Structure 1
């Protein structure tokens, strides 16, 4: 009995100690959470990093400061919090909601944003805006390391104004700002953001004179026959490229057009392995005396202003890597963007294209820029912005000359390139057995006659027939997939087709 009492008392004592220990651990965890504060991306319901949603270019022109030098770690923290402050400001103006702004602006700085949102809400107006590039210069950094003042010179922005959900105005601007930021709770918050008066300087840079390279093109759109639309995937193979490029060279063609898929290449943070593969492709092309048109943003279709800075970072990495490559002949901004006019809205697509062209010209002033429009009618867009005009043609050959001459009259003297055209030799149930290699040969006989007559640079579609076509390219309909498989000058097993007899290079 005495032993049982001892055991009972011991259990009570142990239970009391354990319970108090758990209470202490719980209180400690709660205090730790309250002292740390919630994660700021969670507050905004943005689960991914800000870099995945907004990444403008920030170039520090001067970081020297009389008195206390600014540390690299501190400068990085200031840059990140300044960028994040712009991000939440853009979100607030787009939604007319102050949610999340408190975390990046002090009380006095929030008042100005709040007044704008109140006025916009009252007038049923919305401002969609993004910043493209910031150019800050340090003016002052306090001795205690808790206050910084800098001037953001000519911060490049794009703005859209909506009234009752209708776009009424869109414009670029480059205001300069005087910025004061305070270090509070471990974060740099904007205390003061004042737009400075400035001269009306144009954002447009003077474009350097570029070579007229388009007129020399005799080329082909290229995918490896076993990996169409997945050239830089797991089966990337330099042996295949060398073999195929040697074949193209033997046809006396001098240009290939290749495609860079946006998501597969890593979007804003480009996959270094795929970038290396892209560079290898140009190296092999150079070895076979082939020039390369690099078509960017394949399978991209967002165009939202909030997405712009991500596409800028994507293009910047590729352009800066390849811009001095001797095989590079042109940047093609996007393949057939006009096909997105209906679903995304023409103004939105055109604004994105214009901004992308302007940025690529800043990063690479030497290489020609074009856009791969799906038709002669669509190619009348952005004539002033591109260096040569590219158009695709899949209509009847007998109508080609009239369409070409209409476009030529509107080209303002710029080179025209027939960048895609071709004919499927498919013969099966889905086209009532009406296709054939002979029909494909007749098509090229007629089209190449027009090409020669008008001395038109050409890049035909394509080298090989394909055994498989990804559903993402033409959809699931079997008649479309079957047609798409048989546009090649060579069959899927590598045998030449009759159309080859009429493919003559430009003189």
Structure 2
């Protein structure tokens, strides 16, 4: 009997504890729900950290502010909510998605905005838009800390307008806005946003008279043998680079072209290790008298206007970090962007490229800019905006003179053959038709033409590779096998006949 009483008592105690645990959990859940308004990231329908999707340049002026002195953390919060309002507006104009409008605009302000959105929707007008640069001046901050007046000067904005899905026109403008913001529920919301001035910004065209330093370039598109398309980050091999650059110097090469992968390097938030490794590579290049052409965007293909500010921050960090290095040759915006015309639209790709050229000129006015087009015909695109024209060539050597002559007639800029080469692969996937001797003959024919025209060049590439990432040519074995054997050195590091052709046509010796 005593034993049964103990069991009952134990069961009562356990039941009491369980009931209390449930009550405490319920109170905690309710408290968490009631306080979700304090977390803007979960409050917003946008659903992402704003810094991951939108990073326009913003430069504050605070010296003339009246009223209460602005606290540092308040300025951080104000800036985040102000940019969030712009992003929410741009998103709504593009997709008729109203998520975030209520979060960033007061009731009075959002009524007129929603009226505009509904009108655009009724006539099937979409505006793909982003702001690139803000210069807000803080005019007034109320004593109670709940009202801010600012003037956002010379806001640079890019817009593309579509009607029923068809592109109508694009423009870049510079406008000034008067803004009133109120603090509601712990967040800054726009009460009033009035445009007080606006002007159209034409795309600036290059105006340089000095010689572009590409004449006499003899270069290699470079990856280390064991780090093809993946030479930075954990794969960075300083010793392999030193060995290869010493060999290139012996070959009388004077330049290399390298590639920065967009996503792997951190995108808009570039990893410090990539910047440090790039600096190290340029240091090694300087030791071996090599100039470095840096392709800023590899494995990037979005081009979406909503993505522009992120790509700008990526390029800005690279350019400002490396622009003063003495071994830097210049900037190559993108590798073969014309291959994205069909999928991403020629209009969008060219708009992104043009704006990127403009941005880089703001950060570095000393080094030349180019774009690496996939063939001579495509290289006429945007030639008026670059410092020198770059094209790639992997077709018959006999057809190069005519293709080059036509390009030369259509552009009035220095020209560089930025990639050329031939695979020596001989195997099942190409019916055993390739050979090292055929590769050497191809290089000999091309080099003869290059010497005659004094055309600067970058060969593809120094090494044969054992591993090709799927992201480069896909998974098809015949494409991978062919891509592995473009090197002047085989996968054992031994010189192929094409190596001797390059030596013979240069000034170096074996």
For this structure pair, what is the TM-score category when the shorter chain's length is used for normalisation?
over 0.9
Q: Which residue of 2 aligns with 1:195?
A: 195
Q: How far has the Cα of 1:159 moved from its partner?
A: 0.7
Q: How far has the Cα of 1:400 moved from its partner?
A: 0.6
1:73 aligns with 2:52: no
Q: How far has the Cα of 1:198 moved from its partner?
A: 4.4
Are residues 44 and 33 of structure 1, via their aligned partners in 2, closer, same or farther at CA, if it must alter by over 3 Å? closer
Q: How far has the Cα of 1:27 moved from its partner?
A: 4.2
Trace 1:340-379 onto structure 2 (pairs within 5 A). 340-379=340-379
> Which segments of 5 or more consecutive residues in structure 2 lack a partner in the other structure?
none
Provide, for residues 474-498 of structure 1, a one-character-per-residue CA deviation record: whole Å limited to 9, x for no partner. Answer: 1122222121111111111111122
Q: Which residue of 1 aligns with 2:223?
A: 223
Q: Which residue of 1 aligns with 2:484?
A: 485
| Larger mean Cα displacement after TM superposition, 207-216 or 483-492 | 207-216
Q: How far has the Cα of 1:380 moved from its partner?
A: 0.6
Trace 1:52-91 onto structure 2 (pairs within 5 A). 52-91=52-91
The TM-score, its normalising length taken from structure 2, stands at: 0.93
Q: Which residue of 1 aligns with 2:433?
A: 434
Are residues 9 and 249 of structure 1, via their aligned partners in 2, closer, same or farther at CA, if it must alter by over 3 Å? closer
| Larger mean Cα displacement after TM superposition, 202-211 or 118-127 | 202-211
Trace 1:96-495 onto structure 2 (pairs within 5 A). 96-198=96-198, 204=204, 211-412=211-412, 414-495=413-494
Provide, for residues 165-222 of structure 1, a one-character-per-residue CA deviation record: whole Å limited to 9, x for no partner. Answer: 1111111111111111111111111111000124666574986665411113111110
Distance 1:496 1:5 in 2: 91
CA contact (8 A) 2:216 2:454 kept: no
Counterpart secondary structure, 1:155: strand
Distance 2:383 2:23 in 1: 72
Q: How far has the Cα of 1:283 moved from its partner?
A: 0.9
Are residues 2 and 261 of structure 1, via their aligned partners in 2, closer, same or farther at CA, if it must alter by over 3 Å? closer
Provide, for residues 55-94 of structure 1, a one-character-per-residue CA deviation record: whole Å limited to 9, x for no partner. Answer: 1111113455234221111111111111111111111111
Are residues 475 and 199 of structure 1, via their aligned partners in 2, closer, same or farther at CA, if it must alter by over 3 Å? closer
> Which segments of 5 or more consecutive residues in structure 1 lack a partner in the other structure?
none
Are residues 153 and 173 of structure 1, via their aligned partners in 2, closer, same or farther at CA, if it must alter by over 3 Å? same
Q: How far has the Cα of 1:261 moved from its partner?
A: 0.4
The TM-score, its normalising length taken from structure 1, stands at: 0.93
CA contact (8 A) 2:221 2:258 kept: yes
Provide, for residues 243-271 of structure 1, a one-character-per-residue CA deviation record: whole Å limited to 9, x for no partner. Answer: 10000010111000000000110111111
Distance 1:205 1:377 in 2: 21
CA contact (8 A) 1:210 1:367 kept: no
CA contact (8 A) 1:153 1:175 kept: yes
CA contact (8 A) 2:282 2:325 kept: yes
Provide, for residues 68-122 of structure 1, a one-character-per-residue CA deviation record: whole Å limited to 9, x for no partner. Answer: 2211111111111111111111111112132321011001111221121111011
Q: How far has the Cα of 1:23 moved from its partner?
A: 4.0
Counterpart secondary structure, 1:270: coil
Provide, for residues 381-406 of structure 1, a one-character-per-residue CA deviation record: whole Å limited to 9, x for no partner. Answer: 00111000000011111111111011
CA contact (8 A) 1:182 1:191 kept: yes
Distance 1:444 1:244 in 2: 20
Q: How far has the Cα of 1:26 moved from its partner?
A: 2.8
Count, aligned residues? 506
Q: Which residue of 1 aligns with 2:48?
A: 48
Are residues 252 and 397 of structure 1, via their aligned partners in 2, closer, same or farther at CA, if it must alter by over 3 Å? same
Q: How far has the Cα of 1:44 moved from its partner?
A: 4.5
Are residues 17 and 433 of structure 1, via their aligned partners in 2, closer, same or farther at CA, if it must alter by over 3 Å? closer
Counterpart secondary structure, 1:196: strand
Counterpart secondary structure, 1:175: strand
Distance 2:430 2:206 in 1: 52
| Larger mean Cα displacement after TM superposition, 12-21 or 120-129 | 12-21
| Larger mean Cα displacement after TM superposition, 420-429 or 33-42 | 33-42
Distance 1:91 1:506 in 2: 57
Are residues 34 and 169 of structure 1, via their aligned partners in 2, closer, same or farther at CA, if it must alter by over 3 Å? same
Distance 2:430 2:3 in 1: 96
| RMSD of aligned Cα (Å) | 2.5
Distance 1:98 1:67 in 2: 34
Provide, for residues 277-313 of structure 1, a one-character-per-residue CA deviation record: whole Å limited to 9, x for no partner. Answer: 1111111101111000000110111111111111111
Distance 1:280 1:359 in 2: 25
Distance 1:45 1:140 in 2: 30
